[in-house]
Amino acid sequence: MVFGDYPLEYDPKKHGPYDPARYYGKQDIPLAQVKLGELGSWFGRRNKSPQAMASAIGRAYWRWQHKYVQPKRSGIAPFFQVAVGCSIIFYLMNYQRITSHRFYKYH
């Protein structure tokens, strides 16, 4: 698969119009339904290539878009989600500076 092409598993005659939020590969048991003894084999069946990770992130992004951003009457939720996400990222980036600041003495 080259960047920008459809997934190899996608068949327009079988699946209809392409949906970027859908996984067209072979279906597997959801993580919530996996028993503890089968967890190792379940992780072994995952595709761990960088391309598969990028595809998973892209699908998650499009699911978020379809649920929160693109509906006809979307609310203010996506703006708050982005703001909270940015706040968490910047807090983690500055965590070392914040935690070392508590040991300073001003007298």
CA distances to 54, 56, 64, 69 from 60, rounded to whole Å, are 10, 6, 6, 13
Length of the chain: 107
Sign, CA dihedral 55-58-59-60, equals positive
DSSP state of 67: I
Residue 107 banded pLDDT, cuts 50, 70, 90: low
Specify the higher pLDDT residue, 83 or 46.
83
Mean pLDDT, residues 50-54 taken together: 88
- The predicted-structure confidence for 7-35, as pLDDT tens digits, reads as follows 888 999 999 999 999 999 888 899 999 99
| pTM (whole model) above 0.85 | no
- The predicted-structure confidence for 55-79, as pLDDT tens digits, reads as follows 899 999 999 999 999 999 989 999 9
